[in-house]
Amino acid sequence: MICIRVPRAFYYLAAVYVAVSLVYTTTSHFLQLHRALTTYYGRTFFSGSLSWLAPGHPETPTPLARTHQELIHGIPSGTVYWNSSTRGPNAAASEDLFLSKAFSTSMRPSKIIPYFYRASDRPAANDVTITTLITSNRFHVFSRLVERYRGPISVAIHVKNVTSHVDELLASLHTLYASSPLMAQHVDVHLIVDAFDRQFNTWRNVARFFARTDYVMMLDIDFSVCTDFRRVIRFTPDLRQRLDSGVALVIPAFEYSNLDEGTNQDVFPRTKEALLNLVNVGRIGMFHASWQPGHNSTDYGKYYVSSPGEVYEVTHYQPSYEPYIVMRKDGPPWCDERFVGYGGNKAACLFEIYLSGVSFQVLADHFIIHQNHLYEETIRKNERKYNRKLYAEFKEEACLKYLKVYADAGILHAERGRNAREQCVRIRSIARVAGQIIESSQGLGSLQD
């Protein structure tokens, strides 16, 4: 008698396969599943946990790692080359070294894994990439954003360096990524593996650093993209010219007054007219109305009465303003990575961008709407206290830096130095010295701009 020993694993595989297949009764689904399973699990079918069995779309790529072990030891560090010289061999550095300098004010040790998943689409240079961060409890919200935006998205995900957490997170991340072909088409995922929670500004910078287009929009994933500003920016040379000459375009943010109403984005308005109807009856208003300084510099009154196609300048900036902006990927300053935790991190980021001379201009036909959810308030309260102090010092430091350097370069009295001139004398602790720098450099500038 011929006895063929079939590994137990095979029975197991076959059982799962048959069970899942039964669910997919039509031939096309069956073929798709067959292809999916052989693509994802051909190599290491049993090395991951069972949640890896979530069938994806055939487009879903294989992740770089499925376990903590693989994540830490299994991904070889790349090499960065400088091909500038044609004579002699190229200069090179390990990717880990390069990244440790690129994010050098972040906490260490930390491992950044760029393009853990890499989207199949190659976005055009003049496209707008949404750069954002997600925590694992918000994955479901992210799917909605991907579905609505249908353009390039660069997302940073923090992975806490603890075995049980990593395995679980990688599995649910794969389920998320396999849940829609739009993910594989548009979303680049970058991981930050370390022990430090809520290094928001580092994560923001990672998402921006690896974006593959000339323009980026810093967005929180809780927002629903309501109007197609992406297409408008891409195909309006005037808007791109503004971005190229150091303007950031503000997309105004709104929120439902009744929190329950703001949970289903399927019914959110998609035109300014529909939005205004809801504003007029008090159902929708500015985002985060309980904290006016956060957004009211957008000047909602002006927004409501502006005419189609209008773009207007933000004239009442103050340092707590944290609008959602589209800007060039490469020009404006990066977010200060010393801000860890809630409070001030985004405002600090926007403060330095503004201070450097970027002007904020509002796209008056466009808007985004916040999807309501509950916040963990206790952590936030404590961290805000620390960051308030840090932000106070950051403003002084940034002001002195830009005033001094722009004065020395002879551009403080040019257009580029206007924001620094106006803002820094309003910070009481440095008002006097700021005034002196501005006064003594008068007449030196305006030659260069």
Residue 202 binds ligand NAG (CB under 6 A): no
Region binding ligand NAG by CB under 6 A among candidate stretches 113-121, 272-280, 296-304, 401-409: 296-304
Region binding ligand NAG by CB under 6 A among candidate stretches 32-40, 105-113, 324-332, 346-354: 105-113
Count of residues interacting with ligand NAG (CB under 6 A) = 16
> 142 or 324, CB closer to ligand NAG?
324
Residue 444 is encoded by which pair of tokens? 């030196």
Residue 195 binds ligand NAG (CB under 6 A): yes
Binding residues among 28-87 for ligand NAG as defined by CB under 6 A? 72, 81, 83
Looking at this protein, which amino acid is placed at residue 246?
A: G
Place of tokens 């300053």: 333
Which residue in 67, 106, 110, 179 binds ligand NAG (CB under 6 A)?
110
Region binding ligand NAG by CB under 6 A among candidate stretches 122-130, 212-220, 289-297, 427-435: 289-297
Answer for the pair 184, 39: CB distance below 8 angstroms, yes or no. no
Which residue in 51, 77, 90, 241 binds ligand NAG (CB under 6 A)?
90
Region binding ligand NAG by CB under 6 A among candidate stretches 34-42, 103-111, 234-242, 379-387: 103-111
Residue 445 is encoded by which pair of tokens? 């500038």
Q: Interface mask (CB under 6 A) for ligand NAG, residues 160-189, using x and -?
A: -x----------------------------
Residue 194 binds ligand NAG (CB under 6 A): yes
Instruction: Label residues 189-212 b or e (16+ Cβ within 10 Å = b).
Output: bbbbbbebebbbbbbbbbbbbbbb
Question: CA 159, 161, 165, 169: dihedral to nearest 10 degrees?
Answer: 30
Alpha-carbon span 153 to 146, nearest angstrom:
8
Task: Report the nearest approach of ligand NAG to the CB of residue 297 (Å).
Answer: 5
Residue 297 binds ligand NAG (CB under 6 A): yes
Task: Report the nearest approach of ligand NAG to the CB of residue 90 (Å).
Answer: 5
Task: Report the nearest approach of ligand NAG to the CB of residue 175 (Å).
Answer: 24
> 70 or 299, CB closer to ligand NAG?
299
Task: Report the nearest approach of ligand NAG to the CB of residue 161 (Å).
Answer: 4
Residue 97 binds ligand NAG (CB under 6 A): no
Calculate the CA 440 to chain-centre distance.
Answer: 40
Answer for the pair 67, 49: CB distance below 8 angstroms, yes or no. no
Task: Report the nearest approach of ligand NAG to the CB of residue 418 (Å).
Answer: 18
Which residue in 299, 352, 365, 383 binds ligand NAG (CB under 6 A)?
299
Region binding ligand NAG by CB under 6 A among candidate stretches 104-112, 208-216, 256-264, 417-425: 104-112
Instruction: Label residues 247-283 b or e (16+ Cβ within 10 Å = b).
Output: bbbbbbbbbbeeeeebeebeebbbebeebeebbeeee
Binding residues among 134-163 for ligand NAG as defined by CB under 6 A? 161
> 111 or 230, CB closer to ligand NAG?
111
Alpha-carbon span 54 to 98, nearest angstrom:
36
Region binding ligand NAG by CB under 6 A among candidate stretches 193-201, 255-263, 274-282, 342-350: 193-201
Which residue in 193, 412, 430, 437 binds ligand NAG (CB under 6 A)?
193
Task: Report the nearest approach of ligand NAG to the CB of residue 305 (Å).
Answer: 13
Answer for the pair 159, 165: CB distance below 8 angstroms, yes or no. yes
Answer for the pair 143, 180: CB distance below 8 angstroms, yes or no. yes
> 162 or 259, CB closer to ligand NAG?
162
> 78 or 109, CB closer to ligand NAG?
109
> 7 or 301, CB closer to ligand NAG?
301
Q: Which residues bind ligand NAG (CB under 6 A)?
A: 72, 81, 83, 90, 109-111, 161, 193-195, 292, 296-297, 299, 316
